[in-house]
Amino acid sequence: MGEVKKQIPLRLSPKLYEQIAAWADDEFRSINGQIEYLLTECVRQRIKSGKHLPKKRMKAERRLPIS
């Protein structure tokens, strides 16, 4: 069985929502999929830059599907 994903409430301005929706449509993703993709890319870049999260969060960081 696959890993269970954490659900979180997220509030976006209507303008930001529309921009993400258009971007998701361009890349054939759902809006949720696009947001998850963007967040994953941001975390990947943060790790690559050498910035570290507090030790408490390092376990969660290692579980990210980042190749």
Residue 5 located in a structural domain: no
pTM: 0.70
Number of domains the chain contains: 1
Give a yes or no: residue 4 inside a domain: no
Q: What is the pLDDT along the chain (67 residues), one digit of tens a residue?
A: 678 999 999 999 999 999 999 999 999 999 999 999 999 999 888 888 887 666 665 555 566 666 5
Please provide the DSSP assignment of 44-60 as one string. Answer: HHHHHTT----HHHHHH
Residue 46 lies in a domain: yes
Q: Identify the domain containing residue 40 by its residue range.
A: 14-62
